[in-house]
Structure 1
Amino acid sequence: MTSTAALRRRSLFAVAAAPLAAPAVAQSNWPTNSIRFIGLFPPGGGTDILSRLWCIKMSEITGQQFVVENRAGSAGNIGTEVIARANPDGNTIGLASVAPLGIGPTLYSRLPFNPSRDFSYVSGLWQLPNLLVLNNDVPARSVPELIALLRANPGKYAYASSGSGTTVHISGEMFKTMAGVDMLHVPYRGAAPAHVDIQGGRVHMIFDNIPQGLALHREGKVRALAVTGAQRSPVAPEIPTMSEFLPGFEINSWGGVMGPAGMPRPIIERLNALTKQSLESDDLKRRFLENGATPWYTTPEEFASYRAANEAALAPIIRASGARVD
């Protein structure tokens, strides 16, 4: 017969054990409320458009709202720090971007986060080349003509970026180094105001993410010369790659989803599975491709490894360009 003391011990054990099981059930049903998605760049740019498309699809799949909160500035470093400092309960996630996580560790002497330690990497979302576009009054209609023009007029022309440390900036620095030309870098707070000044002739060109630049090119407001990916873009196969004129020139923007370090593994796995489902949907694939982006699903481990490898690959290019932010 079981003693009264033994029954009491069993009862106490059951009460103590019950709260430990409950969170795992909740995590497997994530999300159970609206999710805050931290965007790193101003509204209207290429990465913002793609982030919102993904959040809309995730809202449809889960029945919970994925709300984009733009925390722009410092080439994505401000928003990335917000993600790093968030509560790791899965209610705040955000954009993992090449700018703060691939370029930033080499470009900046100090960062308010550690890319290897401070995040829970979930999955890639897209790969996206940049597009070189010019003000229509610049007298160059091809990359060779542009190189010749810049070499004949050192320091006369300026290129814009959506901020120091972005792939838009580093694309320009790579071009300067590989083409042997001298241009002034003019950073903006996002690509949208930069495009206004390019169309107005106050700055001459930009290596922007493909969606906005391609739309303006097709409207006749700017002139597109080349994409920065290894292959021509399927949305604009008529536009050559930079590597057709400068062999080895290749740089892509990429985006993914991550949360702060310490997110429970069941939530990471659940978010990864939902992300895979979203990226396999025909409508999101179509919308991504319409904006020049290739859908890019990874496992959490593949994404973390890719980020580290991308940082290592970009480091010598950034150092060779001389770009540095103290």
Structure 2
Amino acid sequence: MHKPPHPIRSKRYLLGLLSALMMYPLHQAHAQNTWPERPIRLIVSFPVGGIADSIARVITPHLSQTLGQPVTVDNRPGANGNIGIAEAVRAPQDGHTLLLTSGASISINPLIYRSQPFNPQTDLAPIAALARVHLFLTVSPSVPATNVAEFIAYLQARPGALSYGSPGPGSSPHLAGEMFKRAAKVDALHVPYRGAAPALQDLLGGHLQFWFDPGIGLKQVEAENLRMLAIGSLQRSSLYPDIPTLAESGLPGFDADSLFGLYAPAGTPAPVIEAISTSIASALEQQSVTNSIRNLGVTPTRMDRQAFISHHAREQARFASLIEDVGLKVD
């Protein structure tokens, strides 16, 4: 005959279970309330002095203030952002390591690299968009063209004779160059560099004739050492309102923008990601922050987190056919 449970033992079991259930959320709440417990490391997957680094230096003071701990920039450039991404993916999932990189590194690198030890779309958690980085079609003074139509005619008369540089294979300036070649029906030689700075130096030195500048060479344009012909965006830049878009200049629909944003290792607690997202939103409400970003030649871009996540899939679909057409693969 089945014996009923002992009332005292049953009561002790229930009290123990209730206590365990109550302690778990209290422990979780304590962990969330104590974050951040130490300085936050912000990995930037591009070199010091570039646009990504400059954006990081603009936003980190605000992040430090609102999150209550110093946010320090750690540049880990290389492989079109993959070096920095790999470093972020390996980091603890505790909210003390963040990543600032381009959307192209997340969406396009998986299309062009034959092998990656990680999947940026699943191994990283998108947090917030920061800025839309524009690409400016800029030429050497040795090129006599003063507008896009003249430049296209100049290229068409010299198929394969002119060279353009980029920070590396598969970078946004490289893809913009390939997009331009196909839209304008011209031929030119792509010269990849390890970063934007050396490409700019060779353009200034006359070893290249043009490139799609991510913003690093704007001071050289203002000093009249280079000539800006157009912007590779759907809208004009507020910094250069008189410079036409390529879409306005006979290449309809031309859009080579890249959205830069903030990411964390996948598995970082949701409340931590939400706190960082809120801090970024408040930073982008500060006029001093947005003015500093605009002065870099880029556009501050607020976007809710779900829209930011969806953006990556759209970008991958948008560039997939171009990458396949180019036959672009990197070991």
TM-score scaled by length of structure 1: 0.92
Look up the match of 2:3.
Answer: none
Name stretches of at least 5 consecutive residues in structure 2 with no aligned partner: 1-6
Residue 234 (str. 1) matches residue 238 (str. 2):
yes
Look up the match of 2:308.
Answer: 303
* Higher mean displacement: 51-60 or 117-126: 51-60
Secondary structure of the residue that 2:258 maps to in structure 1? strand
Look up the match of 1:40.
Answer: 45
Look up the match of 1:157.
Answer: 162
Aligned-pair distance for 1:98? Answer: 2.1
Look up the match of 1:273.
Answer: 278
Q: Distance in 2 between matches of 1:233 and 1:222?
A: 18
Q: Distance in 2 between matches of 1:287 and 1:6?
A: 64
Aligned-pair distance for 1:90? Answer: 0.6
Residue 247 (str. 1) matches residue 248 (str. 2):
no
- Check whether the contact 1:42–1:189 (CA below 8 A) recurs between aligned residues: no
Aligned-pair distance for 1:298? Answer: 2.5
2:264 to 254, 259, 264: 259
Q: Deviations over 1:164-189 (max 9, x none)?
A: 11111100111111111111111111
Change (3 A) 1:8 1:318: closer
Secondary structure of the residue that 1:18 maps to in structure 2? helix
Look up the match of 1:111.
Answer: 116
Look up the match of 1:56.
Answer: 61
Residue 225 (str. 1) matches residue 229 (str. 2):
yes
Aligned-pair distance for 1:20? Answer: 4.6
- Check whether the contact 1:28–1:266 (CA below 8 A) recurs between aligned residues: no
Q: Distance in 2 between matches of 1:171 and 1:257?
A: 23
* Higher mean displacement: 285-294 or 226-235: 285-294
Question: Counterpart of 1:230 in structure 2: which amino acid?
Answer: L
- Check whether the contact 1:134–1:223 (CA below 8 A) recurs between aligned residues: yes
Question: Counterpart of 2:275 in structure 1: which amino acid?
Answer: R
Residue 320 (str. 1) matches residue 320 (str. 2):
no
Change (3 A) 1:243 1:322: farther
Name stretches of at least 5 consecutive residues in structure 1 with no aligned partner: none
- Check whether the contact 1:35–1:91 (CA below 8 A) recurs between aligned residues: yes
State, as a whole percentage, how many aligned pairs show the same letter.
38
Q: Deviations over 1:103-144 (max 9, x none)?
A: 212222323322331111111111121011112122222111
Moved over 6 A (4+): none
Residue 24 (str. 1) matches residue 29 (str. 2):
yes
- Check whether the contact 1:61–1:278 (CA below 8 A) recurs between aligned residues: no
